[in-house]
């Protein structure tokens, strides 16, 4: 059994961060999902709420490794 974490730049701020590829918050850009770091989620949520949108609520394990078996689902 192994674990998987992805590492890439955040779409919002460009900082490199690690995340669970199956659970990380992301946004669609030109047909691809782009991951967003925890800091950017916290930064954007007040604006979302002010604009009448629900806040982004990351899964508890969004920034933790996932079991490799989850990738095949």
- Read off the pTM: 0.85
Q: Which of 10, 16, 12, 26 is nearest to 58 (CA)?
A: 26
Domain count, the chain: 1
pLDDT at position 1 over 80: no
In this prediction, residue 28 carries a pLDDT of 93
| Residues 5-63: tens digit of each pLDDT | 999 999 999 999 999 999 999 999 999 999 999 999 999 999 999 999 999 999 999 99
In this prediction, residue 58 carries a pLDDT of 96
Phi, psi of 48 (to 5 degrees): -60, -45
In this prediction, residue 68 carries a pLDDT of 86
**Residue range of the domain that includes 50:** 3-72
């Amino acid at each position: 059994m192994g674990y998987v974490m992805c590492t890439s730049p955040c779409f919002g701020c460009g900082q490199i961060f690690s995340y669970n590829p199956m659970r990380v918050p992301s946004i669609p850009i030109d047909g691809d999902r782009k991951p967003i770091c925890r800091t950017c989620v916290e930064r954007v949520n007040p604006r979302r709420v002010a604009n009448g949108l629900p806040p982004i609520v990351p899964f508890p394990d969004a920034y933790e490794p996932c079991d490799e078996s989850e990738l095949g689902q």
